[in-house]
Amino acid sequence: MAEQMVKFMVNGRSYEIPIEPHMTLVEVLRDKLDITGTKLSCGAGECGACTVLIDGKPALSCLTLAMTAREKSILTIEGLAEGGNLHPIQKAFIEHGAIQCGFCTPGMILATKALLDENPNPNREEVKKALAGNLCRCTGYVKIVDAVLAAAEEMGKGGS
Ligand code: FES
Ligand code: FES
């Protein structure tokens, strides 16, 4: 099918590129823009590894047609650190051992960002609920939830 020019922002940078209508957002990010922090795992909406934020809301980029991101603002894991400093959520994941193979981590961290933007002080159950769509084969989840709670506390002290 014919490509169409689509304009959107990724991590604060504007792109205008030709996209075939069937291409998913994760394909465009990884294969056309070489922004490979977003992971493609199940490709079927079941694992959350491909989670990005579109206009601040979590979205499964394996199920999102790239065309639908037209004129929108996309945040991937590459856009989270600022000025060479890791985001407090990234730091908390490292400090709490919430990363093992790391394949789920970009999606987990972006789902966490969406949660904390909306609810800066979640309890353990709210964290579990917010991350229920993000699967991790390695950590057993306890450390991930601990990391999210620690990040919330740190950010509540005036971090970003
Ligand atoms: S790769 Fe998108 S939900 Fe699994
Ligand atoms: S750290 Fe390996 S899947 Fe989560």
In DSSP terms, 85 is beta-bridged to 82
Please identify, among 79, 104, 130, the residue that sits at the C-terminal boundary of a domain.
79
Domains of the chain: total: 2
Res 73: pLDDT: 98
Question: Atom 3 (ligand 1): residue with closest C-alpha?
Answer: 45
Please identify, among 50, 79, 108, the residue that sits at the C-terminal boundary of a domain.
79
Question: Of 53, 54, 154, nearest to 107 (Cα)?
Answer: 53
Q: Residues 66, 105: one domain?
A: no
Residue 158 predicted with pLDDT over 90: no
Whether the CB of 138 sits within 6 Å of ligand 2? yes
Residue 38 phi, psi dihedral angles, 5° rounding = -75, 125
Q: Residues 39, 97: one domain?
A: no
Q: How far is the CA of 103 from the centre of ligand 2 (A)?
A: 5
Q: pLDDT confidence of 159, banded at 50, 70, 90?
A: very low
Q: What is the CATH number of the domain that holds 35?
A: 3.10.20.30
Task: Give the sheet arrangement for strand 4-10, strand by strand.
Answer: 13-19, 4-10, 73-75, 51-54, 57-60
Please identify, among 60, 79, 98, the residue that sits at the C-terminal boundary of a domain.
79
Among 50, 112, 139, the mutation site with the greatest number of ligand 2 atoms within 8 A of its Cβ is 139
Whether the CB of 9 sits within 6 Å of ligand 2? no
- Taking only the tens place, the pLDDT of each residue in 65-123 is 999 999 999 999 999 999 889 999 999 999 999 999 999 999 999 999 999 999 999 99
The pTM for the full model equals 0.95
Mean pLDDT of the chain: 96
Whether the CB of 93 sits within 6 Å of ligand 2? no
